[in-house]
Amino acid sequence: MKFNYGILRIFAFLGLAAGLAVLSSPARAAETCAECHKKHSSALVMEWERSKHAKNGVDCLACHKSDKDNPGSWMHNGERISMIVTPKTCAQCHTRENEEFARSHHALAGEILASLDNVLAEKAAGMPGNNADAINGCLQCHGGVVKFKKDPKGEILREGPEGKPVLDPDTWPNSGIGRINPDGSRGSCNACHPRHSFEAKTARSPENCGKCHMGPDHPQIEIFNESKHGIAFNANRDKMGMDKDEWILGKDYSAAPTCATCHISGHMTKDGKVEGNSHDVGERISWTLRPAISAKMNLVVFEDGFKEDYLEPRALPKPGDSVETVEKVREGDVLVNKKVNRKVAQVLSWQERRGKMTAVCSNCHGASFVNNFYKQYDGLVNLYNDKFGKAAKAIMDDLLKDGILSAKAPFEQNVQWIYYELWHHEGRRARHGAAMMGPDYTHWHGMYEVSKHFYDKFLPAVIEAAKAKSAALEEKWKTRVDALLAQDEHVWKKGLSPKEAEELRKYAKDRYNQ
């Protein structure tokens, strides 16, 4: 839709009452928005003009018009508007997408305030002043509670003759995926669909996900680019049809998958139907790779749409059971825990969740390929869990029981920093590498780093921490570490067998003459 901005000047020049009447209509008010913003933020208007929104008559007021109940609204040129567009706004047209997103892991991403990640951002790398590390780092991906500046009486500060509310610069701008908005909604649709064009092809691009899913603790974009999937995508981007209205794997494209392909987009089924297309990004995930020890994830769906992951071995309820759940809700400028009794509608096992993912895989791969991939993937996660994850977690728990570590000081001693990176950085890299078929991240950036730091940093730091407490505890933990290293999976540290050592020497001699 292309507005004729010149009409406004004609009306102003003639001063006709009829012209003023037209200007008061919603369509003309929206045109006035575009006319003015064309001068002050022309690129913004250009982006909107080329959007599908514009072509379908979705104008400025369709998204920005507000009411008095919205604390972030104000009267602007005769219209009550809000600068912040939230999922509740988008839900006026995109109801299904909003409902799916609202129950997803993405929508909960803003709830990181009690995590070790946030402790590091606010304490270790944060403070003086306004915790700039968390504001510029963590919250720009995860989101956070959007707040307004307030006066001593607790009233929202407003500026200018129109009374525009003053947003707290510690919380805005923010397009974090789990942003907690003043209207109580969660999320930011433009985290994936950038304003004001809102193009689907941007949300379908791996680089879009890579804004947040990258780096030492969750390098998904790096792993994707290393994998055969990423190689195929980068070689065939022009064949992907990413700007199509409908985007179904096996129907509209076939050259390669993207992050969206595997996690949320639609695909063809064996019986020729279309399946998928969900904004609930976690539906197809069967392992959680985030914590110190990975676990299979079952899913409990309640009658009101609320969802909760039940990690094995947590006992599962049955459909019809009443279960007490806890969710975080916004009260003023803070999040509080709210207990709600809900009735179970459906229980989705981890095997069923995996089935949703393998249905996508089957568009390009045969059953033996898919099934054997999952055996390899499961094998790596179990190896990490059984050899390193569980052993390290048990040690840290017992150091706490012995009073060597303090629950109040999660990064007081060197062993705590090493342990954190062991599972949070190196362990995650290995597990994500296997999940996404990235061999270098699985081994060299993953399990190699896990094993090296487990043996040469973590275990010595355990003994050092015990030594600092008492000689008796030092002796106790030396014995504990020796017993661990005597186990079959760790005994190699004492040396290879004579045959293995000779083969290694011969290999270097034959290949490199060294």
270's CB contacts (< 8 A; 6+ apart) are 362
Contact 120, 129 (CB under 8 A): no
Which of 298, 283, 288 lies closest to 349 in space, CA to CA?
Answer: 298
Task: Report the distance separating Cα 83 and Cα 86, nearest Å.
Answer: 10
What integer pLDDT is reported at residue 2 of this predicted model?
42
Q: Measured between alpha carbons, how far is 147 from 134 in angstroms, rounded to an integer?
A: 15
Cβ density class 188-198: b for 16+ within 10 Å, e for less: bbbbbbeebbb
Residue 27 has what pLDDT? 62
Give the per-residue pLDDT at 18. Answer: 36
Residue with tokens 């009306």: 11
What is the rounded distance in angstroms from the CA atom of residue 192 to the CA atom of residue 199?
A: 9
Q: How many whole angstroms separate alpha carbon 118 and alpha carbon 96?
A: 32
List Cα–Cα distances, 131 to 118, 128, 138, in angstroms: 10, 7, 11
In b/e form, how buried is each residue of 361-374, taking b as 16+ CB within 10 angstroms?
A: bbbbeeeeebeebb
Quote the strand ranges of 102-188, DSSP E. Answer: 158-159, 164-165
Task: Collect contacts of 131-139 with beta carbons under 8 A, ≥24 apart.
Answer: 131/170, 135/170, 135/171, 138/112, 139/110, 139/171, 139/174, 139/176
CA angle 135, 220, 117 (to 5 degrees): 35
Distance between CA atoms of 269 and 253, rounded to whole angstroms? 14
Q: For residue 253, what are its two tokens?
A: 């494209």
State the pLDDT at residue 131.
Answer: 83
Bridge partners for 75 per DSSP: 80
Q: What are phi and psi of 399, to 5 degrees?
A: -60, -35
Total residue count of the chain as it appears in this document: 514
- Which of 50, 45, 61, 60 minimizes the C-alpha distance to 201? 50
Number of Cβ atoms within 10 Å of the Cβ of 481:
18
Structure tokens at 82: 């809000």
Smallest CA-to-CA distance from 51 within 201, 204, 237 is with 201
Burial of 259 (0-12, 13-18, 19+ CB in 10 A): buried
**Cis link prior to 196 (omega < 30° from 0)?**
yes
199, two tokens? 């193009």
Q: Residue written as tokens 């700039």?
A: 132
Position 494: which residue type? K
Check if the beta carbon of residue 309 is closer than 8 Å to that of residue 298.
yes
Relative to beta strand 158-159, strand 164-165 is antiparallel
pLDDT at 115: 81
Report the predicted TM-score, pTM, of the whole model to 2 decimal places.
Answer: 0.90
The pLDDT averaged over each successive group of 10 residues in the chain (514 residues) is 40 35 52 89 94 93 92 92 95 95 92 80 78 90 94 94 95 95 93 93 96 96 98 98 95 97 96 93 96 97 95 97 94 92 97 97 97 98 98 98 95 97 98 98 98 98 98 98 96 91 94 94
Which amino acid is residue 169, in one-letter code?
P
Q: Which two tokens stand for residue 148?
A: 């307004």
pLDDT given for residue 117 in this prediction: 84
Select from 234, 198, 233, 192 the least CA-distant residue to 212. Answer: 192
Helical ranges in 439-497 per DSSP H: 439-442, 448-453, 459-469, 471-485
Q: Is 208 helix (H, G, I), strand (E, B) or coil?
A: helix
Per the DSSP assignment, residues forming a β-bridge with 167 are 148
Q: How far apart are CA 44 and CA 468, in angstroms?
A: 60
3-class SS of residue 405: coil
Q: Which of 54, 64, 56 is nearest to 84 (CA)?
A: 64
Contact criterion met (CB below 8 Å) for 318 and 347 = yes
